Amino acid sequence: MKRKIYLFCSAGMSTSLLASKMQKVADEHSLPIEVEAFPYLEIDKIVEERNPDCILLGPQVKYMYNEIKSKFEPKGLPVQVIDMSDYGTMNGEKVLKTAIKLIKASQASNA
């Protein structure tokens, strides 16, 4: 089953680059993962229609973290803000590892 890791930021532009780097790492390791980026204004629609396994927020929208966390984590959907230095260096591998750990921890607590 393919896991979906979705990144959200102001316009979805800078996170698109990070998402493609994360997808490249996932593909290189043959991981069944889909990584995509979207503008945060679409978060409700995207979550409802596409059922991601993890939500990562770009540092520029971290002010929305508490609101988004309280909305989606009770439904078993982990939410985290992307580390500023990993975001700044576009470290797709590190951000991907963080997302995978979040998904595993969420599954363990919901089991």
Chain centroid to CA 3: 11
Whether 82 and 58 have beta carbons less than 8 Å apart is answered as yes
Catalytic residue among 5, 9, 37, 95: 9
Let me know if 9 is a catalytic residue.
yes
CA contacts within 13 A on the Cβ side of 4: 13
Percent helix, strand and coil across the chain, each to the nearest 5: 60, 20, 20
Q: Which residues are catalytic?
A: 9
